[in-house]
């Protein structure tokens, strides 16, 4: 609808006031005015039209004022009813009467939608951050504008290809098992080869059914998150994660040097220079985890792996926590409401050790068996974790002190005859921490151990790793270049699939292939509801796909 404004011809003479005329407004019949406002007669002169429109505007203002007064009266009435205890009538939303199946489907849809949009938002932020980094790099580099634009276009194409690869599904058939190299309480670790590229990886498998039985849902999510978020050289690199109806899979880098526990079993004790090197690298590794906002809580020689150059990397974050809601066991208990769980609270079990010096050899012999058991090894766990009264990142520094003690003395400081004795010695560390006379330590080494195995309020590292780095024991350590320095122990490898540094002779009974068919978890009626706990587990690393020219 068009409104045509025309100005009448101005007279050539007369006063300036006489030359100012009001415009003539031609209003169509179907202009759509409110009911109480009608168009002026077409034949009226401009002055009459202006007066008529002014009157209609007054009428509309009066109606608006009346409506506002009416609304105010209604609000006052509602407030008086509320003050008198008469709640305002409104629609009550309730799930009463809905079947359990509908509630489960609703919860599933809600969780999956939240995860989808959360993941999409995180990917968008990461994508924008990568573009910003490339733009900053191009600004500081010489070159023509055309060449820089080509690089930005190339980045855009790679991002698009990455999005397509994210939609592809990885499965067990994409990897061929070479050998079983490790076994834990909830699954195995296998050396595998990618079927398409021939790349070598370490594949960790976790049974979903065991995750539910042992109430490990929060822990397995925390492990996946810390591996996915970390880009540190001190943490084992996670490349992919996926799942099927029975198992969770983590595809990680293969570190052929074995672990620190294997070295301790082989060499018994380390000299102080060797101990200084490995403990210094452990300090940097633990610091990297803490900077991500995580606590490992299970630092021990089994979880300190050795790469091909002899440097360490942290692994096995099954007991770690990052203080996210998905890292809390109660979150999954609420999520699985109505689904039976065998355990309702988190627990850390004790191990069986020996205390007498003449039985330490037997303890060492059984050390590998303890690592494979579901009981675990608590010799390195801080006492505040057992108390379950709250703890922080300083609990990892206690574990580092016990590892340093074992490196220099040949056994952990609190190895005992039975689980209760181990617990008692850890809780009474002031009386039970004893340095053997036949293994003399330097004053600096003993002081560092005592300042790590102590109350959390006085423990070194409670205010950051810099406190530990400044200790005299680490005098001469080049913290910035230690990873580029030669390691005291460099693995001698015969091939890229060499597993000689892993005790594979103890794993002959473990089948090479993952038994993904013979499992009862997939046949349970509530397996779909249980799978809600693993929503968002899938992961693909962008920079790794970029370096291997997959995008």
What residues form DSSP beta bridges with 180?
Answer: 190
**For 53, what's the count of Cα atoms within 13 Å in the CB-facing half-sphere?**
14
Q: How far apart, in whole angstroms, are the C-alpha atoms of residue 427 and residue 433?
A: 11
**How remote is the C-alpha of 206 from its chain's centroid?**
18
Q: Determine whether the annotation assigns residue 204 to a binding site.
A: yes
298 carries an active-site annotation: yes
Q: Residue 214: which of 377, 354, 329 has the closest Cα?
A: 329
> Would you state the structure tokens that stand for residue 490, as one six-digit string?
């460099």
Angle between helix 145-166 and 100-140 (nearest 10): 160
What residues form DSSP beta bridges with 179?
Answer: 191
Tell me how far CA of residue 401 lies from CA of 298, 394, 464, 471, 488, in angstroms: 13, 11, 15, 13, 21
Task: Report helix, strand or coil for 486.
Answer: coil
CB 49 within 8 A of CB 25: yes
Q: How far apart, in whole angstroms, are the C-alpha atoms of residue 242 and residue 251?
A: 9
Largest Cα–Cα distance of the chain, in whole Å? 127
Q: How far apart, in whole angstroms, are the C-alpha atoms of residue 533 and residue 341?
A: 13
How far does the chain reach from its first CA to its final CA, in angstroms? 54
Q: How far apart, in whole angstroms, are the C-alpha atoms of residue 24 and residue 5?
A: 6
Angle between helix 394-409 and 260-267 (nearest 10): 20
Helices (H), 84-204: 100-140, 145-166
Task: Report helix, strand or coil for 96.
Answer: coil
Q: Which of 215, 225, 259, 298 is catalytic?
A: 298
Q: How far apart, in whole angstroms, are the C-alpha atoms of residue 206 and residue 232?
A: 24
Backbone angles phi, psi at 494, to 5 degrees: -95, -25
> Would you state the structure tokens that stand for residue 179, as one six-digit string?
């050998």
Name every residue whose Cβ is closer than 8 Å to that of residue 32 and which is 6 or more positions away in sequence.
1
Name every residue whose Cβ is closer than 8 Å to that of residue 288 and which is 6 or more positions away in sequence.
230, 232, 234, 235, 314
CB 541 within 8 A of CB 240: yes
Q: Residue 383: which of 321, 285, 472, 459 has the closest Cα?
A: 459
Q: How far apart, in whole angstroms, are the C-alpha atoms of residue 72 and residue 80?
A: 12
Instruction: Please say whether the dihedral angle defined by the alpha carbons of residues 511, 512, 518 and 524, taken in this order, is positive or negative.
Output: positive
> What are the catalytic residues?
298
Annotated binding site for ATP: 204
């Amino acid at each position: 609808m068009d409104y045509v404004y025309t100005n009448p011809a101005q007279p050539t003479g007369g006063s300036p006031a006489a030359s100012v005329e009001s415009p003539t407004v031609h209003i169509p019949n179907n202009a759509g005015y409110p009911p109480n406002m009608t168009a002026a007669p077409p034949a009226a002169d401009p002055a009459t039209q202006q007066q008529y429109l002014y009157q209609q505007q007054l009428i509309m203002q009066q109606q608006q004022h009346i409506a506002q007064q009416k609304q105010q009266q209604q609000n006052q009435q509602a407030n008086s009813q509320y003050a008198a205890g008469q709640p305002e009538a409104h629609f009550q939303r309730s799930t009463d009467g809905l079947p359990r199946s509908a509630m489960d489907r609703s919860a599933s849809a809600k969780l999956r939608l939240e995860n989808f949009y959360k993941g999409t938002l995180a990917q968008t932020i990461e994508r924008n951050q990568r573009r910003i980094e490339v733009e900053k790099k191009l600004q500081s580099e010489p070159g023509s504008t055309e060449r820089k634009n080509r690089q930005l276009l190339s980045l855009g194409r790679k991002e698009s290809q990455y999005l397509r690869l994210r939609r592809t599904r990885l499965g067990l058939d994409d990897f061929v098992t070479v050998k079983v190299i490790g076994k834990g309480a909830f699954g195995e670790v296998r050396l595998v080869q990618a079927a398409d590229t021939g790349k070598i990886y370490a594949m960790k498998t976790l049974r979903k059914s065991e995750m539910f039985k042992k109430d490990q849902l929060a822990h397995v999510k925390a492990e996946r998150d810390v591996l996915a978020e970390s880009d540190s050289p001190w943490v084992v690199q996670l490349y992919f994660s996926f799942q099927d109806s029975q198992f969770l899979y983590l595809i990680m880098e293969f570190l052929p040097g074995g672990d620190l526990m294997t070295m301790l079993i082989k060499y018994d004790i380390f000299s102080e220079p060797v101990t200084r090197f490995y403990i210094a690298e452990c300090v940097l590794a633990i610091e990297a985890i803490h900077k991500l906002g995580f606590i490992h809580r299970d630092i021990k020689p089994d979880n300190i792996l050795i790469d091909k150059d002899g440097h360490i990397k942290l692994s096995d974050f099954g007991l770690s926590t990052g203080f996210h809601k998905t890292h809390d066991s109660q979150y999954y208990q609420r999520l699985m409401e109505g689904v039976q769980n065998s355990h309702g609270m988190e627990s850390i079990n004790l191990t069986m050790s020996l205390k007498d010096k003449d039985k330490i050899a037997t303890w060492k012999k059984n050390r590998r068996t303890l690592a494979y058991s579901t009981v675990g090894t608590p010799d390195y766990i801080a006492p505040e974790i057992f108390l379950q009264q709250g703890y922080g990142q300083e609990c990892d520094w206690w574990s580092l002190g016990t590892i340093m003690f074992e490196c220099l003395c040949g056994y952990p400081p609190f190895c005992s005859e039975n689980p209760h004795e181990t617990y008692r010695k850890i809780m009474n560390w002031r009386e039970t921490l004893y340095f053997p006379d036949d293994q003399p330590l330097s004053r600096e080494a003993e002081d560092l151990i005592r300042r790590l195995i102590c109350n959390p309020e006085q423990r070194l590292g409670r205010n950051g790793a810099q406190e530990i780095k400044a200790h005299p024991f680490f005098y001469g350590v080049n913290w910035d270049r230690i990873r580029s320095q030669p390691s005291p122990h460099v693995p001698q490898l015969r091939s890229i699939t060499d597993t000689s540094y892993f005790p594979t002779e103890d794993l002959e009974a473990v089948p090479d292939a993952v038994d993904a068919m013979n499992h009862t978890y997939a046949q349970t009626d509530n397996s779909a509801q249980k799978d809600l706990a693993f929503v968002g587990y899938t992961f693909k690393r962008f920079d790794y796909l970029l370096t291997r020219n997959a995008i």
